[in-house]
Structure 1
Amino acid sequence: MPPRTGPAKRRLLAGLALPAVAALALTACGSGDGDSANGSGGHSGKHEVKHARGTANVPAEPKRVVTLEPVQLDTSVALGVVPVGTAVLNEKTGVPPYLGEKAAGIKTVGTVQEPNIEKIAALKPDLILGTESRHSALYERLTSVAPTVFMATQTDPWTENVRLVARALGDEKGADRLLGDYRTRCTEVAGEHRTKGRTAQLIRPRDGVLSLYGPTSFAGSTLECAGFTTPARDWENSISVDLSPERVRDAGADLVLVTAADVEAADAVPDAIRDNAKTFPAPHVVDQSFWISGVGPLGGQAVLNDLDRILTAAK
């Protein structure tokens, strides 16, 4: 956490950290983000963040953050701002364990798809982070609780969403550091295992289909960052496409990774893959809690460490 400074210096630092909005007049935001209670961006201890719904006037050093997306949770924890509450993908499994003990006590406020406004309000947040594509209908209610910053979609390049979260938390340099560490680790894995020229495909079995994750997905982009190439296909402007089990051979690659909630389960690799051993001679089961759900700098490092383990064992 950066040291506190005087009001004038905080305003200067906020302006330097947000070049994308420096040309905007520091007037009322006009986005319903709770400014009526806290004043405009020119007041002490505030900075403005341009986001998917306009411009939010948020605390320079938010203390009680609620996140509604995995990338927001991961990035906040990575930056040392442990949220007081978070929406989760599954209330039964809760906060992903890869985030460690410091995140274990975060209260859940419903699911990513259906956040609970009452639970959020009860935590008295000073900043809420959400997503236009998922939470658009809740925006006015959320802004009545606390200043709110929205990503455009959860399918945007995850590294850009990391930068938006960092701006909202007043720590843009922190994002540079985290993403720099991530790229450095990618380079280490690529060099150690000579991945250039090899293909890799992540497969997620679910609901009777096989979802293949492409180069713009979190896991796919991390595999490519580590030197692999995703097999060419029509990704239909999406992060993933679904295959029927009958077309499973279309998912072949030099390295095939299959996600599972329980990597030790006997049925972690679906029959469609087991029955096609020539196409899939050595599929590797990986933990979906970070390969799929762990979007963010900490999840990226977890994926790269797991990839390093797999490639080392395969030598």
Structure 2
Amino acid sequence: MTETHRAWALVAALPVLLVVAPTGCSDNSDGKSASGETRSVESVDGPVEIPVDPQRIVALRGSAEALLSLGSDEVVGVPDFYTEDYFGTDTAAWEKYQSLPKVGTIAQPDYEAILALEPDLIVGNVLEKHWEAIDKEKLTAIAPVVNLEGGSLLVTDWYETFAEAADIADMSEKADAQKSEFYARAEEIHEKYAGKIDGKKFVAVAS
């Protein structure tokens, strides 16, 4: 049972990612990168112009574990609520998380701390109930903000937001490799316990 939950925990950890590029100015709300090129991506609040080659990212809820598990070096700030369990056996990602500046909690970001990090992109996978409490005007005054969460906790939505974030971060190749590992592990578990789990439905209560 713990092995099965570990596999589902990997999916829960996949959701989002992004990166950011320094521009020498804290107000990067126009989304320009060092090259000046931008692209439009979808956020829960509508289209957002982001840098084509972002280099500095503040990762809000749901994106930190995904980005760090993919080995991103562009994350410069993370929420202050994660525990080692979120990263499973990925000790490198956990150690990286511990070393990064913290930028508040899920529903209460530390806007001054985020501003001080001079990100050129802010990304999250924040549930609707928490997203409503966040001052989006303050965030967008610092850098382009992309939230990939629509409020659902379905595993299929996690797959989608993970893929979207990986594409935005230009890490699709690594993301595809990680997903392949997950599918292989899931299939291994299914084959081992097929007699007990076939025909049954499961729900991930918590990762």
Indicate the TM-score class for this superposition, using the shorter chain for normalisation.
0.5 to 0.7
1:135 to 114, 117, 131: 131
Aligned residue pair count: 168
What's 2:29 paired with?
A: 34
What's 2:116 paired with?
A: 122
Whichever residue aligns with residue 87 of structure 1, its letter is P
SS in 1 for 2:103: strand
| Cα offset, 1:97, TM superposition | 6.0
Deviations 1:128-162 (A, max 9, x none): 11236122342221111111101223624322221
Higher strand share: 1
What's 2:168 paired with?
A: 168
Matched, 1:147 2:139: no
Tell me how far apart the structure 1 counterparts of residues 54 and 152 of structure 2 sit (CA, whole Å).
22
Matched, 1:88 2:80: yes
Contact 2:103 2:109 in 1 (8 A): yes
Deviations 1:218-245 (A, max 9, x none): xxxxxxxxx79446xxx8xxx65xxxxx
Whichever residue aligns with residue 151 of structure 2, its letter is T
Return closer, same or farther for 1:102/1:197 CA change in 2, 3 Å cut-off: same
| Cα offset, 1:58, TM superposition | 1.4
What's 1:75 paired with?
A: 66
What's 1:222 paired with?
A: none
TM-score, length of structure 1 as denominator length:
0.46
Return closer, same or farther for 1:86/1:149 CA change in 2, 3 Å cut-off: same
| Percent of aligned pairs sharing the same letter | 25
What's 2:54 paired with?
A: 62
What's 2:44 paired with?
A: 52
Return closer, same or farther for 1:80/1:150 CA change in 2, 3 Å cut-off: same
Contact 1:67 1:87 in 2 (8 A): yes
Contact 1:69 1:88 in 2 (8 A): no
Tell me how far apart the structure 1 counterparts of residues 141 and 169 of structure 2 sit (CA, whole Å).
19
SS in 1 for 2:40: strand
TM-score, length of structure 2 as denominator length:
0.67
Tell me how far apart the structure 2 counterparts of residues 195 and 139 of structure 1 sit (CA, whole Å).
46
Contact 2:32 2:51 in 1 (8 A): no
- Highest Rg: 1 or 2? 1
SS in 2 for 1:87: coil
| Cα offset, 1:165, TM superposition | 1.6
Return closer, same or farther for 1:176/1:114 CA change in 2, 3 Å cut-off: same
RMSD: 3.0
Say which is worse superposed, 141-150 or 93-102, in terms of deviation: 93-102
Return closer, same or farther for 1:228/1:143 CA change in 2, 3 Å cut-off: farther
Contact 2:76 2:100 in 1 (8 A): yes
Matched, 1:107 2:97: no
Contact 1:67 1:85 in 2 (8 A): yes
Tell me how far apart the structure 2 counterparts of residues 115 and 73 of structure 1 sit (CA, whole Å).
14
Tell me how far apart the structure 2 counterparts of residues 139 and 38 of structure 1 sit (CA, whole Å).
19
What's 1:207 paired with?
A: none
The gaps in structure 1 that reach 5 residues or longer are 1-32, 200-226, 241-290, 293-315
Tell me how far apart the structure 2 counterparts of residues 94 and 145 of structure 1 sit (CA, whole Å).
29
Higher relative CO (Cα under 8 Å, sequence separation at least 6) belongs to 2
| Cα offset, 1:51, TM superposition | 1.9
